[in-house]
Amino acid sequence: MDFLVKLFAQNRKVALCLTGTAVALLGLALGYKYTRRQKKLTRVGVVSQLLLHPMKSGKAVCVPAAECLRMGLKCGDLRDRYWLVITEDGHMVTGRQQPRLVLVSMTCEGGQVCLNAPEMEELKFPLQQPNNPIFKCRVFSSDTEGRDCGDEVSNWFTRYLAADKNFRLVHFEPQLKARTPSEKGFPKDEKVAYPDAAPVMLMSEASLNNLNTRLDPGISVCQFRPSIVASDCEPFSEDSWDYVQIGQVELQRVMGCGRCIFTTVDPETGVISRKEPLDTLRTYRLTDPAQKTAPILGQYYTVKKTGILHVGDPIYRITY
């Protein structure tokens, strides 16, 4: 009799344990199903252009598709803002100081990087130069590093910019020290190479068209250097796209892109006006209290889920 009581008690414990496990698993399954059901995708636009800027302040490369990685867009061997012009003491040089940098184009094929600029001979150099020294660099208030691209490249930029100092070109490599954006709102583990702030900047054609109704002559999207250009949406609607999905890529908005004097450099001539479109933007786009003098046009995003982007992909706003 005692044996039967013990057996029943043991089986009861087993049964209760199995029942509890089953209930827990059912709860997890229902919770997962509920969470999945709550994610809502609303189409808000279409990708009309994908732009890489391999060299910071250099000419854009328009591509039909690109990998969207945690540190920005990639197409073939070209990565967005992975090359940087510096002075010999490591300080960055951009179109703010040297406007003619916007006329420098960079391509890469067969392991060879190719540079072109007005009135300059074409220059090719190896993408990988592992024996070249690593420079410590300063991008705004952040420290980073870059692999020197060699003396021939240095001489090319020094002649092109015709300033009273020497310039060098450095290339970011995965093992080098990356930057954490200094602006508030970026995750502490966020890393970028040489962009001003975020790995991705998105703006819409409609926002640009709205600006161009106030300018004569109008300007192109290249003046604002976005990564992703959206169409089929209302002006400034991107201001409210906190989470977006494009293909399998998921992006999270961090902050508006506060515009500076660099927007007044004409990407076709390399001439800086220091006035438009910045003066006009300040009349109606001082929309972020944290950016008291910097008007907002376009939005900065971090990459939450990587994948491939294509021109023509629908853009969905994610809500829960």
- Identify whether 69 is part of a domain: yes
- Identify whether 160 is part of a domain: yes
d(CA 250, CA 68) in angstroms, rounded, equals: 9
DSSP string, 256-320: EEE--GGGGB-TTT--B-SSTTHHHHHTT----TT-SS--EEEEEEEEEE-EEEETT-EEEEEE-
Output phi, psi for 180, to 5 deg. Answer: -100, 120
d(CA 156, CA 149) in angstroms, rounded, equals: 11
Instruction: Spell out the long-range contacts of 266-271 with Cβ–Cβ below 8 A and sequence spacing 24 or more.
Output: 266/102, 266/223, 267/59, 267/60, 267/102, 267/220, 267/222, 267/223, 269/103, 270/99, 270/100, 270/101, 270/102, 270/103, 270/118, 271/99
Mean pLDDT confidence for 20-38? 56
Amino acid 91: pLDDT: 95
- Identify whether 226 is part of a domain: yes
d(CA 275, CA 255) in angstroms, rounded, equals: 24
Q: How many CB atoms lie within 10 A of CB 31?
A: 10
d(CA 227, CA 223) in angstroms, rounded, equals: 12
Are 291 and 256 in contact by the 8 Å Cβ rule? The answer is: yes
pLDDT in tens, 156-192: 999 999 988 999 999 999 999 999 887 778 888 899 9
Token digits for 132?
A: 């070249």
pLDDT in tens, 217-261: 999 999 999 999 999 999 999 999 999 999 999 999 999 999 999
- Identify whether 161 is part of a domain: yes
Return the CATH number at 92: 2.40.33.20
pLDDT in tens, 60-101: 999 999 999 999 999 999 999 999 999 999 999 999 999 999
Question: Exposed (0-12), middle (13-18) or buried (19+): which is 51, by Cβ within 10 Å?
Answer: buried
d(CA 55, CA 94) in angstroms, rounded, equals: 10
pTM, to two decimals? 0.87
Are 248 and 308 in contact by the 8 Å Cβ rule? The answer is: yes
For residue 242, give the nearest of 304, 180, 188 by alpha carbon: 304
- Identify whether 277 is part of a domain: yes
Q: How many CB atoms lie within 10 A of CB 237?
A: 15
d(CA 292, CA 235) in angstroms, rounded, equals: 21
- Identify whether 255 is part of a domain: yes
For residue 146, give the nearest of 192, 111, 178, 107 by alpha carbon: 178
d(CA 86, CA 63) in angstroms, rounded, equals: 27
SS3 content of the chain, % helix, strand, coil (to 5): 25, 35, 40
Mean pLDDT confidence for 266-270? 97
Query: What is the DSSP code (8-state) at residue 91?
Result: B
Query: What is the domain extent for residue 169?
Result: 41-319
Residue type, 280: T
- Supply the mean pLDDT for the chain: 91
Are 110 and 125 in contact by the 8 Å Cβ rule? The answer is: no
For residue 62, give the nearest of 232, 267, 317 by alpha carbon: 267
- Identify whether 221 is part of a domain: yes
Domain count across the chain: 1
pLDDT band at 35 (very low <50, low <70, confident <90, very high): very low
- Identify whether 31 is part of a domain: no
